[in-house]
Structure 1
Amino acid sequence: MQPPISTLTRKTLLFPLALVIFEFCVYITNDLIQPAMIVITREYGVDATWNASAMSAFLFGGVILQWLFGPLSDRVGRRKVLLSGVAFFIVSCLATLWASDIHRFLALRVLQGVALSFIGAVGHAVIQEAFEEKTAVQISALMANVAMIAPLVGPVAGAVFVDYLPWRWAFVMIAAVSCVSWLGLFRYMPETVKPSKEKLPIKQIAYDFWHLLSNRHFMQTTVSIPFMSIPLVSWIALAPTIVISDFHYSSLAYGLMQVPIFGFLILSNIVLAHRAKVWRLGSSVHYGYVFFLLGWLLIVLGGAGVQPVMMLVLGICCFAFGEGIAMSVLYRFAMTASDRPYGVTSSVIGMLHMLGYALGVEVFKHAYFAWGVMGFALCSTVCLLIYMGLSRGAVAHAMMLRLDGEGDAAVTASH
């Protein structure tokens, strides 16, 4: 195995590029299709409450097999598992051509969501293993910029797409681009673990999972991330209903409203990538609190009836910026909070995140249908309070461990 990479060059970036193309394709299956959900539900003869269920099903797909793919890649190698996952995603996208009712469509959304497991449990694990710590944070931020092009262009492209082409053909185009990613991964993806011929030890997987789930600092860091992201994820799921159905904006206007939100998310990742090696690791999480609090204030104003849609968009913009400068750092802290293998650790993180997002969308959906924008604001308040409480403790513990490690290294060097 090669030592961790500390310098970014054109060659070392080819694998992250191929991976992020796959990540882009997975995300855009959600972002491109969200504007079409109103058309899809009408075609299938169901009501608007099913709009957000497509995203919940997609996120649930990211949960059901996370427990397997990380440990499996620890055993048989990262390359085999990730390449198989990309191929599975391509087939599940093409199968949408034969979805004849809402139930089959949602079943395929679950299968497409399984691809989230390959990204988190395998792809991101390789990034953490192949690159030195601050370089891994930098790579993660750069990858997030590319991946966030999906929610940036997806809603606008989807709004235009459904006006001119059948919505099913969006999945055909996504499958075609995913084939490019598969070829890039096949050519450039490194193998960061030594494959073993031993059978996959289910008892060992259960032990590793229990070890992680009972690790207070790991759980504190890992669970903080969904609470940070749920308001943005819920906005993505509910925006077609809020903007188009309830406030009667056009599909194009809905798409354009997403541009500043994900523009702020991209900008924040650019800031983090640029400053990652200058800022003390963890400080960006504290900087993010300012933007979360400002966003919360704007969302509450919207809930109180002051320009509801505008305030929601502006508030989510602030949430997006705060999330962008905090996400990669918290993810790194979660990955290094335990001595378990990265494949298992990534699996548990991914499962908890996807489960949190799926449940969060459902809670936000019911709150919005019960109390309107105020329901969205109340849920955002709860998420923010929990996130700030968890993340402060997570950062403090992670920095204490790193200071202790530097002290141990200094003592060893002196001898």
Structure 2
Amino acid sequence: MSSSSSPTAVPEGAAVLRPPRSRGAIALLVLVLGVLTATGPLATDMYLPAFPQITEELGASEAQIGLTLTAIMLGLAVGQLVIGPMSDAWGRRRPLLVGVSLFTVTSVLCVFVPDVTAFIVLRFVQGVAGAAGAVIARAVVRDMFQGDDAVRFFSRLALVMMLAPLLAPLVGAQLLLVGPWQLSFWVLAAMSALSLVLVALWLPESLPVEARRAQGPRVLLATVGSLVRDRRFMGPVLSLGLSFGMLFTYVSAFSFVSQNEFGVSPQTYGWLFAVNALASMLGTQGNGLLVGRVDTRRRLAAGLSVALFSVVTLLVVALAGVAQLWSVSALLALMMFSVGFIMPNATVTALDGQPASVAGTASALMGSLQFALGGSVAALAGLTPSGEASLVSMAVVMASVAVLSLGAFVWGSRVRVV
């Protein structure tokens, strides 16, 4: 274990699962948890290119189809609040197996929806079920690793966590070339079924019976209240959620901005999207190389500072009317690079100080706030006279939340950023 590891609440003498040490075992764990964490974001974004087709086939309005996206985001937020405490009380495997099974079933049912109302309901249930993968994967990492060991693992896992929502629309667009919109949900069902097999065969229980903590409503509220009052937890959690809002604003708005304000083709947009995805990968790997050399909080502060610089510069360029496609793309790539530092370090900073007995609840609260902040912040970019996002509105939202994200870090750490 790293010297920066913090003590857990596991009782003395309790059997604790030892973290894997061999490269093969770690790679297998990354695969299993990576597929789990990717399922939710893929379910959120993969069907976006098919919105016009779904609208026509179901005889619904664009606003009604938009509610299917809102429904799954709400389900992901609510599901994490429910499943996280369950995993603290019952262990990680059982809630995870139930959640993955339910996600598989709802994905298949989405293929056969008769109308938009049923589609909205199923998407909410799908979100609740999909939350199991994200919240329990983080808790499993917290059970097995701490300190720099956890950062190294999250840096590997972050590749999947970040690439899934970024590349999902591109995958969905390609699926439309070979089949109808329902094909995306068949792919989700297949991925979920694969997750079920991987968990059943290769993911051991990471929370021993002695460390489990059953929580009634009153105890759960007390635990959540304690977490909310803990600056060491809430500071990085708010930084993470706001930064996710900055990222999600880019994901939801840049397709429209690039094609309508800069006149690029969908294919060119796809290449720009891929370049920024590569930038996020380089960021996560760069963060991993600095583990053990630079303190976790300093790496987080550096990521937040670079993100702030990139989006404030983007706002200045947009307001000055001198924005060019190359300069906008370069600044967005720099922002994506910084997110590769923010995500793993903020996650570890928040969870590392919490005992194993509440790791599931802490992970659930963090994930719920991440999706709630991300979804609500991204919607602000569309509050323009035309009702559509523009480069200026996108930059205003991203710069604002970047300021708040860095401020949350300073508030949580109670030290001046250097």
The two structures share one fold, judged by TM-score above 0.5: yes
> Displacement of 1:218 after TM fit?
2.0
Distance 2:341 2:152 in 1: 11
Structure 2 counterpart of 1:270, one-letter code: Q
- CA separation of 1:26 and 1:308: change in aligned 2, threshold 3 A: farther
Q: Offset at 1:168?
A: 0.7
Partners of 2:232 and 2:413 within 8 A in 1: no
The aligned counterpart of 2:203 is 189
- The residue number in structure 1 matching 2:332 is 316
Taking the aligned partners of 2:63 and 2:395, their CA distance within structure 1 comes to: 19
**Which of residues 266, 275, 279 in structure 2 aligns to 1:264?**
279
Instruction: Report the counterpart of residue 237 of structure 1 in structure 2.
Output: 252
Asked if 2 retains the 8 angstrom alpha-carbon contact of 1:335 and 1:345, the reply is yes
Is 1:66 aligned to residue 83 of structure 2? no
Q: CA RMSD in A?
A: 2.9
Partner of 2:127: 113
Query: CA 1:214/1:293 → structure 2, altered by over 3 Å: closer, same or farther?
Result: same
CA contact (8 A) 1:62 1:117 kept: yes
How far residue 290 of structure 1 moved from its aligned partner, in angstroms, is 2.5
User: Number of aligned pairs?
Assistant: 399
The alpha-carbon distance between structure 1 residues 376 and 12, as it changes in their structure 2 partners (threshold 3 A), is closer
Aligned to 1:214, which of 229, 243, 249? 229
CA displacement at 1:334 relative to structure 2: 1.0
Residue 391 of structure 2: which of 370, 373, 384 is its match?
A: 373
How far, CA to CA, are the matches of 1:300 and 1:115 in structure 2? 42
What amino acid does structure 1 have at the position aligned with 2:27?
A: L
Query: Please, which runs of 5 or more residues in structure 2 have no aligned partner?
Result: 1-14
User: Structure 2: which amino acid aligns with 1:265?
Assistant: S
Match of 2:348 among 313, 320, 332: 332
Distance 2:165 2:380 in 1: 22
Alignment of 1:15-30 (within 5 A): 15-30=29-44
Q: TM-score with structure 2 length normalisation?
A: 0.85
Deviation (angstroms), 1:68: 1.9
Distance 1:317 1:214, change over 3 A: same
Paired position in structure 2 for 1:92: 106
Match of 2:409 among 391, 407, 410: 391
Whether the aligned pair in 2 keeps the contact of 1:220 and 1:390 (CA below 8 Å) is yes
Task: Give the deviation of 1:116 after TM superposition.
Answer: 4.7
> How far apart, CA to CA, are the structure 1 residues paired with 2:224 and 2:98?
24
**Contact 2:81–2:368, Cα closer than 8 Å, also in 1:** yes
Partner of 2:308: 292
Where structure 1 has 5 or more consecutive residues not aligned to the other structure, the ranges are 400-415
Q: Do the aligned residues in 2 keep the contact of 1:99 with 1:105 (CA within 8 Å)?
A: yes
Q: 1:109 to 1:260 in 2, by over 3 A?
A: farther
Distance 2:203 2:416 in 1: 30
In structure 2, the partner of 1:156 is 170
Larger mean CA deviation between 237-246 and 166-175 belongs to 237-246
Give me the whole-angstrom Cα distance separating, in 1, the residues matched to 2:312 and 2:383: 20
- Cα distance in 2 for partners of 1:234, 1:303 equals 18
Shift of 1:50: 6.2
TM-score (norm 1): 0.86
> 1:125-157: per-residue Cα shift (whole Å, max 9, x none)?
111111232121111110111333424543333
Distance 1:283 1:19, change over 3 A: same
